[in-house]
Structure 1
Amino acid sequence: MRLVMASANPHKAVEIAAVLREAMADVEIVPRPPGLGDVAEDGETLEANALIKARFVCAAAGEPAIADDTGLEVDALGGVPGVHSARYAGPEQDAAANLAKLLTALQDMLPPQRRARFRTVVTVVFPDGRDVLADGAVEGCIAAAPRGDGGFGYDPVFVADEAPLRTFAELTSDEKNSISHRGRALRALAAKLQQLNPAANRG
């Protein structure tokens, strides 16, 4: 199965390709076509945004496209930043600004009050309009300060329950992918794709 990557985020693209290639021996991942402009991620849910991105790239490439959308849901903030995680500090802000805003919002809260989860929805959209969706989540908490040089986004402050001594940014890529929201969503997606008939696999 040949899938075109919808994400323009190189870190995310590497993670998606690594997990899918491990889960599906026959998958071929190709880069996002050059020259495509940004697509407005204006959906109200992770599912909507993943579909928006995959449909845009599928239409441009004429081939099945894979996209995901991820949100960090912090219980004490009512699930914020959630679907707005990438733009939490504003549309022109970056990961450092998002982290700073999050830590400021939680600065007076003790560890039991800093519960959070990452959730990912991933989809493949086919040229004939069909789509396959899957999701994954990982529970954890927000650290008091960033730690680690790996990962991206909120990884330096997210501590998963299954790796309680290190942030995602302190884990190796393999360690992170084995328990992460994106890894779980992609493995669930791979299982669904493998259940499609051969004609569907060819898109």
Structure 2
Amino acid sequence: MTKLLLATRNAKKLVELDRIMVAADVHGVEVIGLDAVAPFPEAPETAPDFEGNALAKARDAVAATGLPAVADDSGLTVDALNGMPGVLSARWSGRHGDDLANLQLVLAQLGDVPDDRRGAAFVSAAALVLPDGTEVVVRGEWRGALIRESRGANGFGYDPIFVPEGGTRTSAEMAPAEKDAQSHRGRALRLLLPHITAALT
């Protein structure tokens, strides 16, 4: 069984990649997270774009562990906020990972924006870096609009206020497998799957 390091401590992302690989009938690869390897210094996410942050995280993971690594950087881009919070999505309120504060700040910033101008997209860049130096970066986007009040208990981050194009439910109201089939990270990881299977199976 070949180990693939997903450079995250987010258990939901590990489960998500596992589900996607099972759905694509990928066998012989065990996905592990950062909690399964010895700690190593993790560089801050300072790149101006999702792709740069994803690559940096995957490179650090390979250099520290010698394992093939996948990393993603994802966030919400809001049309009325000129594409922000973007790479700052996880720390938009000033505190990293405070989902509720981040969501409430975006809602407050959009308070006067009419419904027809509340377009947004979830964006995910996913990078695969191999010990031989091979690097692949892909990008997935999920367009939609932001509603004015949170709905739904699934997902995390800005999911409770994001309604995908053509839908009526937020991404936090979707079942996990349904969200995987549409989401930005699901799209990016599926684009990466052929490279993972070619390299590791």
Asked whether the two chains share a fold, i.e. TM above 0.5, the reply is: yes
How far off its partner does 1:29 sit?
Answer: 0.8
1:100 aligns with 2:104: yes
**Match in the other structure for 2:84:** 80
* Aligned-partner SS, 2:15: helix
Contact 1:4-1:64 within 8 A present in 2 as well = yes
Aligned to 2:193: 190
**Is residue 197 of structure 2 the alignment partner of residue 201 of structure 1?**
no
Distance 2:25 2:53 in 1: 24
Contact 1:24–1:190, Cα closer than 8 Å, also in 2 = no
Change (3 A) 1:165 1:192: same
Match of 1:160 in 2: 164
Tell me how far 1:93 sits from its aligned partner.
5.7
Kept after mapping to 1: 8 A contact 2:14/2:31: no
Please tell me the residue identity of whatever aligns with 1:143.
I
Report the counterpart of residue 12 of structure 2 in structure 1.
11
- In structure 2, what is the Cα distance between the partners aligned to 1:21 and 1:57? 24
SS of 2:73's equivalent in the other structure is strand
Q: 1:137 to 1:92 in 2, by over 3 A?
A: closer
Which stretch of the first structure deviates more once superposed, 149-158 or 123-132? Answer: 123-132
* Ranges in structure 2 where 5+ consecutive residues have no aligned partner: none
CA RMSD of aligned residues (A): 1.7
Structure 1 vs Structure 2: percent identity of aligned residues? 42
3-state secondary structure, aligned to 2:5:
strand
2:139–2:188 CA contact under 8 A, matched in 1: yes
Change (3 A) 1:79 1:180: same
Q: TM-score, normalised by structure 2?
A: 0.91
When the two structures are aligned, how many residues end up with a matched partner?
A: 197
Q: Distance in 2 between matches of 1:46 and 1:19?
A: 21
Q: Which residue of 1 aligns with 2:148?
A: 144
Match of 1:22 in 2: 23
Q: Deviations over 1:24-53 (max 9, x none)?
A: 512321222243454311111100100111
Counterpart Cα distance in 2 of 1:177 and 1:136: 12
Gapped regions of structure 1 (runs ≥ 5): none
Distance in 1 separating the partners of 2:177 and 2:74: 19
Aligned to 2:45: 41
In structure 2, the CA distance between the partners of 1:79 and 1:172, relative to structure 1 (3 Å rule), is same
Question: In the TM superposition, what whole-angstrom CA distance separates every residue of 1:2-29 from its partner, at most 9, and x where no partner exists?
Answer: 3111011222222122213322512321
CA deviations on 1:77-119 (whole Å, 9 max, x unpaired) are: 1000011111111144611110011000001112111000011
Match of 2:184 among 164, 181, 198: 181
Q: Judging changes above 3 Å, is the alpha-carbon distance between structure 1 residues 93 and 58 closer, same or farther for their aligned structure 2 residues?
A: closer
In structure 1, what is the equivalent of residue 172 of structure 2? 169
The TM-score, its normalising length taken from structure 1, stands at: 0.90
Letter in 2 for 1:28: E
Q: Which secondary structure does the structure 1 equivalent of 2:155 belong to?
A: coil
